Amino acid sequence: MGYITLLGTKGGPAIRQEGALPTASLMHFADQTVLIDCAIGATRSVVDSGTGLLDLDAIYITHLHSDHVLELGPLLYTAWTTGLGRPITVYGPEGIEEYWQGFLSAMSYDYAIRRADEGRPSLKDLVRVVTYGAGPLEDLGPLRVSALRVEHPPVTECYALKFEAQDKRVVFSSDTCYFPPLADFAHQADVLIHEAMLTAGVDRLIERTPGAKRLREHLMASHTAADEVGQIAATARVKHLVLNHLIPADDPDFGDADWQQEVAKTWNGRMTVGHDTMTITF
């Protein structure tokens, strides 16, 4: 048995008072502790979930939008200052190495002081960064991991991830428009965690997001409407569909019933609307 804790379930980088946090998920599966995406707030959320930063075995970044990667460097650095003493691997798409090197450069003053003054080990030797593409990734202990490139324009390097072990299968869609090949990738998954957009809430979201003149065009071209998510789940014959990366996630005029009504147009199986701190077992 494994379980997933949804640390952040909001689509998009903005955070609002008492609203959901952007994307991060913590998975315990086959004796491995894995973080999938690392938006702002992820460090605190991992610790609050009861998992220590030093317990993480690997981190997977699905793409380099800020609401998936913004807190990767701070999380790793905080783990180091907490006492990280064993290697940890970060898997990410093209550009992940540049992100990491840029973060280390930004922290060079503090890093040099702590190395000299506190005698800390080299963080550069503890963090291994692996750039991945579509296909099988390195096994993580007994976990088999594979990636599928999905469509999330204008981002070209964006990947759904599949984790398999002990006859169990978990799939994270990442951010994507309606993408039928994802149904084959997620075939008979025990859990499919899929992004979802409530089209009725798009206009209000745009009204609350000044300075993004073409946001509507991006949302409609790059994300999956809730009823289309249900179609993917139905075609894939998954056992449990979990809605994540909700757009919108913090509008009081829309609740779980609205999401359920849309998904029910195409899917009549088990479905959960994700919320921050929610745990999904499989």
pLDDT tens-place string over residues 264-281 = 999 999 999 999 999 999
In tens, the pLDDT along 169-206 reads 999 999 999 999 999 999 999 999 999 999 988 878 88
The structure's pTM equals: 0.96
- In percent, the amount of the chain with pLDDT more than 90 equals 89
Beta strand 241-247 pairing with 168-172? unpaired
Between vectors from CA 64 to CA 114 and to CA 37, what angle results, nearest 5°?
A: 70
Give the mean pLDDT of 243-272: 95
> pLDDT digits over 68-84, tens only?
999 999 999 999 999 99
Percentage, residues of the chain above pLDDT 70: 99
Q: What is the mean pLDDT of residues 230-254?
A: 96
Name, in order, each residue with C-beta under 8 angstroms of 155's C-beta and a sequence gap of 6 or more: 63, 64, 65, 175, 222
CATH number of 3-281: 3.60.15.10
- Output the 3-class SS for 133-157: CCEECCCECCEEEEEEECCECCECC
pLDDT reading at 209 higher than 80: no
Give the per-residue pLDDT at 122.
96
Sequence-distant (6+) residues with CB within 8 A of 10 are: 19, 20, 21, 22, 23, 67, 245, 246, 249, 250, 276
- Listed in sequence order, the DSSP H helices in 158-255 are 181-185, 202-207, 215-222, 226-236
Q: Report pLDDT digits (tens) over 91-110.
A: 999 999 999 999 999 999 99
Q: Which of 125, 136, 237 is nearest to 191 (CA)?
A: 237
Give the model confidence (pLDDT) of 114-152 as tens digits.
999 999 999 999 999 999 999 999 999 999 999 999 999
- pLDDT-derived band of residue 250, with 50, 70 and 90 as boundaries? confident
pLDDT at 214 over 90: no
Is residue 4 over pLDDT 70? yes
Angle, CA 230 vertex, CA 226 and CA 234 arms, to 5°: 170
- Tell me how crowded residue 187 is: count the other CB atoms within 10 A of its CB: 15
Residue 207 is predicted with a pLDDT of 80
Confidence (pLDDT) at 212:
64
When pLDDT is cut at 50, 70 and 90, the band that residue 22 belongs to is very high
Q: Which of 150, 132, 149 is nearest to 222 (CA)?
A: 150
- What is the domain partition of the chain in residue ranges? 3-281
How far is the C-alpha of 209 from the C-alpha of 212, rounded, in Å? 7
- Are residues 11 and 67 in contact, defined by beta-carbon separation less than 8 angstroms? yes
| Residue 189 to residues 4, 21, 140, 173, 186, Cα–Cα distance (Å) | 14, 26, 19, 12, 5
DSSP 25: E
CA dist 186 and 269 (Å) reads 15
Average pLDDT of the residues of the chain: 96
Contact by Cβ (8 Å): 22, 15:
yes
